[in-house]
Amino acid sequence: MKRYSAFAIAREALRNHTGWERAWASPEPRKKYQAIIIGAGGHGLATAYYLGKNHGIRDVAILEKGWLGGGNTGRNTTIIRSNYLQDPSAAIYEKARSLYETISQDLNYNVMFSPRGVMMLAQTQHEVRGYERTAHANALQGVTTEFISPARVKELVPIINLDGPRYPVLGALWQARAGTARHDAVAWGYARACSDMGMHVIQKCEVTGIRQEGGRVTGVDTTRGAIDCDKLGIVVAGHSGDVARMAGFRLPIESVPLQALVSEPIKPCMDVVVMANTVHGYMSQSDKGEMVIGGGTDGHNNYTQRGSFHHIEETVRALIETFPMVSRLKMLRQWGGIVDVTGDRSPILSKTPVENIYINCGWGTGGFKAIPGSGWGFAELMAKDHAPLCEAFGLERFREGRFIDESVAAGVAH
C-alpha cells in the first residue's frame, strides 16, 4: 500500500489524481480465519490492528453488518480525555490518550488529533470536592490534570458566564493534553492499516448465529455464509446483548440512545472542550466552526438512533445558562447512537463462559476516547488470555461485587 505524504499529494496533483488506491480492500469472506472480530467500529478495528501489530495474528476477519464506522464511531462528539478517578479506568484511558498523540504517524493517516484541552466545570461545592479528589488521584496515577480557579476558566473560555443564576462556575478540572480527533478518520485509518496487513474487512455481513462445540467456539453464521474461526471477539457496542445471546450467555448491560447536535458554523470563539455535569451538557467547536453540543442518555431503553426531542431541549436550555451566546444559534443537525451501559459505568473486556469467545462492551458514553487503549488491551486478551489493562474489567466483577464505580466521571455523556 502506498504511503500518504506531501510528495504523494504533489505527484498525484500532477497526474490528475489518477494513481490513488482504495484505502482498504473489499474481499469475499474465506471459509475460516484464525480470529474473527464482530463489529467494524473503532474498537473492533483497533483490536484487529493491534492483534496484527503487537501479536503477529494477521489471519483476521472484521465483520460489519452495515458499513465501516457507521455505528457509534461515526455518531459521537470526538472528546478524548483520561481524567478518571479509579486506577484501572485511568490506566486504560491514559493509554488511549497517549496512543492518540502518535496515531496519525503510526497509521500513516491523519486523524486530526487536537490536544486542545478538556475542562469539567465544578458548579456546586460537592463537585469542587469531587474534582479536587480526582486531581489528587490523577497525580498518583501519573495522569496530568489540575483543578483551576474561575478566573483561569474565564481566561481559557472568554465566552463563558461564570455567574449563572442557578449554578455559578466555582472552578474546573483541567486536562491540558486532552482534546478531540476526527471520529471517521480513526476508523478509516485503522481499516486501512488492517487491510494493508492482509486482514479482511467485510462489510454488509451480518452475524446471525454463533456455532460452538463442547463449550468452545467453532465459527459464525452470517448473511454471506458460514465462517469458521479459532477465536471470536464481540465488539458491537449497543447490540452486545443481542450477540451474546446468540452464544448462550447474558450480559449485565442495558442499551440506551445518546444524542448530540451541532449548530450552524460561526467564527472561532472557543478552542477548548467544556463539560458541565451539573447542568448536564458539554460543548466544543469543530474545525468547521460548528458548536458541537451533547448531553446525557435518554431515560428509557431502546435501539433507536434518533433520541428524543425533549432531551435536546433540556441540554440546550442548560447550556444557555453557562453560554448565553448559544441562544442565538440555529441547530444544523442532530443525531443519536446506541450505547451499552453497565451498572458501575465501566466497560467489560473479558473472556466469556464460551471458550475462545471474548467480549468488549459497556463503554457507555465514553467509548470514542478509549479506542486505541481498548484495542491494545483487548488484542492482548484475545492473543494471550490475559492482559493487564483488561484484568479489572472482567465479567466476574459483577458476581463478586468488585465494581469500578465511575458514575461521577461518566455522569455526563462525553
Domains along the sequence of the chain with CATH: 31-109+183-252+344-400 (3.50.50.60), 118-180+255-342 (3.30.9.10)
**Integer Cα distance of 383 and 372 in angstroms:** 16
| Cβ neighbours of residue 45 closer than 8 Å, sequence gap 6 or more | 37, 62, 68, 187, 190, 191, 194, 201, 375
Matching residue, cell 451541532: 262
Other CB atoms within 10 Å distance of the CB of residue 226: 15
Residue with cell string 465494581: 403
As a whole number of angstroms, the distance between CA 302 and CA 259 comes to 13
- pLDDT reported for residue 78: 92
Could you tell me the three cell numbers for 215?
Answer: 463449550
pTM: 0.95
Long-range contacts, 122-127 (Cβ 8 Å, 24+): 122/147, 122/169, 122/170, 122/171, 122/172, 122/173, 123/164, 123/167, 123/168, 123/169, 123/170, 123/276, 123/277, 123/278, 123/279, 124/167, 124/170, 124/278, 125/170, 127/170, 127/277, 127/278
pLDDT at residue 408, rounded to an integer: 59
* Predicted local distance difference test score (pLDDT) of residue 278: 82
Local confidence pLDDT in tens for the 414 residues of the chain: 888 999 999 999 999 998 898 999 999 999 999 999 999 999 999 999 999 999 999 999 999 999 999 889 988 899 999 999 999 999 999 999 999 999 999 999 999 999 999 999 999 999 999 999 999 999 999 999 999 999 999 999 999 999 977 889 999 999 999 999 999 999 999 999 999 999 999 999 999 999 999 999 999 999 999 999 999 999 999 999 999 999 999 999 999 988 889 999 999 999 999 999 887 788 999 999 999 998 878 778 888 877 677 778 888 888 888 898 888 999 898 888 899 999 898 999 999 999 999 999 999 988 999 999 999 999 999 999 999 999 999 999 999 999 998 875 554 434
Cell representation of residue 314? 433540556
Query: Quick one: how far is CA 157 from the chain centroid?
Result: 25
Pairing of strands 225-234, 216-222: antiparallel
- Burial label for 164, CB within 10 Å (0-12, 13-18, 19+), is buried
> Side chain identity at 35, as an amino acid letter?
A
3-state SS, residue 129: helix
